[in-house]
Amino acid sequence: MVGTLVVSALAYLALRWSFGFMRSDDVPKVATMLVAIVVGVVGAWMLFWILNNLVSSIPGERLREFLQPFAFVGPALLLLFIFQIYPTVNTILISFLDDNSEEFVGLKNYLFAFTTEDLLTAFRNNVWWLVIVTSVTVSLGLLIAVLADRVKLESVVKSTIFLPMAISFVGASVIWKFVYAYRPAGTAQIGLLNAIVTWLGKEPRGWLIHFPANSFYLMVIMIWIQTGFCMVVLSAAIKGVPNELIEAARVDGANAFQVFFQVTLPCIRGSIITVATTVALSVLRVFDIVYVMTNGAFNTQVIANRMYVEMFKFRNFGHAGALAVILLVAVTPVMIVNIRNLRQRRS
Amino acid sequence: MSETLSRSATGPNYVLRRILAGTTLRLVLVSICLLWTLPTAGVLITSFRPYNDIISSGWWTVFETPFDFTQWTLEHYGTVIAEEGVGNAFLNSLIVSIPSTVIPITVAAFAAYAFAWMKFPGRDLFFATIVGLMVMPLQMALIPMLRVYTRLGLSGSFLGIWLAHTGFGIPLAVYLLYNFISQLPRDLIEAATIDGASHFQIFTAIVLRLSLPAIASFAIFQFLWVWNDFLVALVFLGGGREVTVLTTQLSNLVGTQGQGWHVLTAAAFVSMLVPLSLFFTMQRYFVRGLLSGSTKG
């Protein structure tokens, strides 16, 4: 008991010292980095060690047995409450208050969301993003999975398509901004797309400026990133389809297309739904790409970007809160289905 | 496609058709792969070209004289690392990402063990909550947490962003590690309990060791998620020069350097360096991790 308290006190002092150290400007960055990493990593372990020792030193057996699990699960529950449950409740409240969260304004923020021109564009764009990105990534992923299955270099093909998953959305945006780079006709085009267009004898275009196609060029970035994910999951699902089923269909005289659409596709239905849901969820919250590429200009606005603008540019927390709640409402069906699936698996 | 054609496997054209179908298949795949690689290749090649070349000709022209070494330069990397804050941002990204990977995994592994092998009131309700929160949009947390952070002085501090990534990462981490830890053989845990081992000992000596593959996969996912994260860093860390990470710094450069492709391409490539090396060295864990963690956001 005494030992644990001494260790706790020492750990606390070390932590305080290290935060002072990390904040001071005159130490080299690399030293800060090493201290930060050691503090972060060792600190988490110390926490559990101390918690466990404190609980173990409780004299009453029943109280000890009762508290023991919370020494394990407590920190997680506490963080969950602070970072997820409290903010959710708070954001819902904020969405019914004015810009400074001082006075109750009823549904005014939601009314604003559904009547403002820029936001109506954002909703429309979000729907287009959902429909186009989800359907294209899933079908393209499926197509590549099926085709790659038939060649020797399957793993090379798959790695190539999967690679963009490793790159940040910001990095991917820079990559595609360069593809879309525009220079006036007559000068050398340095962007790949305009180079191809001028080579075909047409005028170069400012791809990100012209509505409504510009949103589509932003979606291409998301498709480029997410297709690999769909491909890998669906490829695994296709390989899991029992061979006997396919053989039987072939013996019955089905051709490759019939086998695919009438045997393989129904078998992997579950995987397709999972993949489509996952892509749809990430598309719904798309922010980085729009922020970096156009910041919502030229009618490319999306909900998440407008929320950021409301928060940091207009400082209207009521509007921002309402937009966050709208995003929450959109993902609620998925939450319910996930919890229901969990219940079914348990029973 | 070749199977479709094989129905008419009687004519003398059969072999020719098969070859044609095979060639078409390969052509399609090669074009798709090219389409997927060219954008990245363009940025990579451009980052090594002198400024005057970049603005006067497309990056593909280097292939006309690939061995003319005067057309290559490392200059922009020196510039972005030393002058454009990318070197500093690289270190900051490491400072942010490593604890933001280890802390959530530690917290989640302990919690997953409790959910799987201990009994406590409210266990099922808590777990259902965790599953529901897995798809919670990050946006729901931004306003309240930003206010809390400002009040506590945590904005712009590394501790603040470690905690944020831990808090946001907990549901998925607990869920995935629970799926693995709860599948460990019951006999093993019970035998250790009979031998008098405490839960803490069982966890550290047996469970943690056996869960290493699952932890490694999730660690790679979480590390990449944090490394590539933009929104959390932008809101809780800010773009201030001292603490900015690679993604926020790259976005700053897009704002200030609009057409400065020599700076943008080199900076973009520096930001991709760590994810790409992870991709090429640990592809198996990498794919597994990304697949298991793909619902996060």
Q: B127-184: per-residue pLDDT in tens? A: 999 999 999 999 999 999 999 999 998 888 888 999 999 999 999 999 999 998 998 9
Q: What are phi and psi of A297, to 5 degrees?
A: -70, 170
Cβ atoms of A76 and B109 within 8 Å: the answer is no
| Residue A117: domain span | 110-346
Q: What are phi and psi of A97, to 5 degrees?
A: -110, 170
Cβ atoms of B288 and B212 within 8 Å: the answer is no
Confidence of residue B290 (pLDDT cuts 50, 70, 90): low
Q: What are phi and psi of B13, to 5 degrees?
A: -80, -5
User: For chain B, what is the mean pLDDT?
Assistant: 88
B213 has pLDDT over 90: no
Whether residue B20 is contained in a domain is answered as: yes
| Residue B17: domain span | 1-38
Task: Provide, rounded to the nearest whole percent, the portion of chain A with pLDDT above 90.
Answer: 67
Partner residue facing B1 (CB), from A173, A256, A284: A256
* Interchain proximity A41–B102, CB inside 8 Å: yes
User: Any chain A CB within 8 A of the CB of B9?
Assistant: no
Cβ atoms of A166 and B279 within 8 Å: the answer is yes
User: Any chain A CB within 8 A of the CB of B294?
Assistant: yes
Tell me the one-letter amino acid at A314: F
DSSP letter, residue A189: P
Mean of pLDDT values over B31-39:
95
Whether residue B63 is contained in a domain is answered as: no
* Interchain proximity A179–B128, CB inside 8 Å: no
CA–CA distance, B68 with A39 (Å, rounded to integer) = 49
Same domain, residue pair A100 and A123: no
CA–CA distance, A207 with A180 (Å, rounded to integer) = 6
Instruction: Taking each helix axis as running N to C, give the angle between helix B246-257 and helix B261-281, from 0 to 180 degrees, rounded to the nearest 10.
Output: 160
Number of domains observed in the structure of chain A = 2
pTM, whole model, 2 decimals?
A: 0.92
Cβ atoms of B214 and B180 within 8 Å: the answer is yes
* A208-238 per-position pLDDT tens digit: 999 889 999 999 999 999 999 999 999 989 9
Pick the residue from chain B with its C-alpha nearest to A193. Answer: B39
Handedness of CA B163, B167, B172, B176 (dihedral sign): positive
Task: Say what the pLDDT of residue A20 is.
Answer: 75
Task: Say what the pLDDT of residue B4 is.
Answer: 46
Same domain, residue pair A170 and A77: no
- Residue at token pair 């000068």: A187
CA–CA distance, B273 with B128 (Å, rounded to integer) = 38
Same domain, residue pair B97 and B203: yes
Residues 6+ positions from A280 with CB-CB distance below 8 Å: A130, A134
Instruction: For residue A118, count CB atoms less than 10 angstroms from its CB and return exposed for 0-12, middle for 13-18, buried for 19 or more.
Output: exposed
Write the DSSP string, A220-238.
HHHHHHHHHHHHHHHHHHH
Give the B window 173-212 contacts with A, CB below 8 Å: 174, 198-200, 203
B31 has pLDDT over 60: yes
Chain B partners within 8 Å of A328 (Cβ): 136-137, 139-140
* A76-106 per-position pLDDT tens digit: 999 999 999 999 999 999 999 999 999 999 9
Whether residue B67 is contained in a domain is answered as: no
Same domain, residue pair A202 and A335: yes
Beta-bridged to residue A104, according to DSSP, are A97
Task: Say what the pLDDT of residue B193 is.
Answer: 87
Shortest CA distance to A208 belongs to which of A196, A197, A220, A199?
A220
Task: Say what the pLDDT of residue A194 is.
Answer: 94
* Interchain proximity B251–A291, CB inside 8 Å: yes
Partner residue facing B140 (CB), from A19, A171, A328: A328
Helix (H, G, I), strand (E, B) or coil at B134: coil
Chain B partners within 8 Å of A291 (Cβ): 230, 251
Confidence of residue B295 (pLDDT cuts 50, 70, 90): low
Same domain, residue pair A212 and A265: yes
How close is the nearest chain A Cα to the Cα of B210, in Å?
18
Same domain, residue pair B27 and B143: no
Beta-bridged to residue A97, according to DSSP, are A104
Quick count: other Cβ atoms within 10 Å of Cβ B79?
17
Give the B window 115-174 contacts with A, CB below 8 Å: 115, 118-120, 124, 126-146, 148, 157-159, 162-164, 166-168, 170-171, 174
Half-sphere exposure of A126 (CA within 13 A, CB side): 21
Chain A partners within 8 Å of B268 (Cβ): 171, 174-175
Confidence of residue A25 (pLDDT cuts 50, 70, 90): low
Pick the residue from chain B with its C-alpha nearest to A171. Answer: B268
Task: Say what the pLDDT of residue A150 is.
Answer: 87
Tell me the one-letter amino acid at A313: K
Element (H, E) at A260: none
Partner residue facing B276 (CB), from A72, A73, A166: A166
Same domain, residue pair A44 and A145: no
B14 has pLDDT over 90: no
User: Any chain A CB within 8 A of the CB of B18?
Assistant: no
Mark which of A105, A134, A152 sits at the end of a domain.
A105
Shortest CA distance to A235 belongs to which of B9, B287, B256, B121?
B287
Pick the residue from chain A with its C-alpha nearest to B269. Answer: A171
Chain B partners within 8 Å of A233 (Cβ): 291
Partner residue facing A288 (CB), from B128, B146, B231: B231
Same domain, residue pair A287 and A156: yes
How close is the nearest chain B Cα to the Cα of A212, in Å?
23
Give the B window 31-50 contacts with A, CB below 8 Å: 32-33, 36-40, 42-43, 46
* Interchain proximity A73–B250, CB inside 8 Å: no
Same domain, residue pair B119 and B21: no
B139 vs B12, more confident: B139
Residues 6+ positions from B255 with CB-CB distance below 8 Å: none
User: For chain A, what is the mean pLDDT?
Assistant: 91
Task: Say what the pLDDT of residue A226 is.
Answer: 95
DSSP letter, residue B233: I
Q: What are phi and psi of A103, to 5 degrees?
A: -120, 150
* B92-114 per-position pLDDT tens digit: 999 999 999 999 999 999 999 99
A27 vs A341, more confident: A341
* A258-285 per-position pLDDT tens digit: 999 999 999 999 899 989 999 999 999 8
The domain that holds A212 is classified in CATH as: 1.10.3720.10
Task: Say what the pLDDT of residue A33 is.
Answer: 79
How close is the nearest chain B Cα to the Cα of A44, in Å?
6
B3 has pLDDT over 70: no
* A34-81 per-position pLDDT tens digit: 888 888 788 888 889 999 988 888 888 889 889 999 999 999 999 999
Whether residue B138 is contained in a domain is answered as: yes
Task: Say what the pLDDT of residue B10 is.
Answer: 54
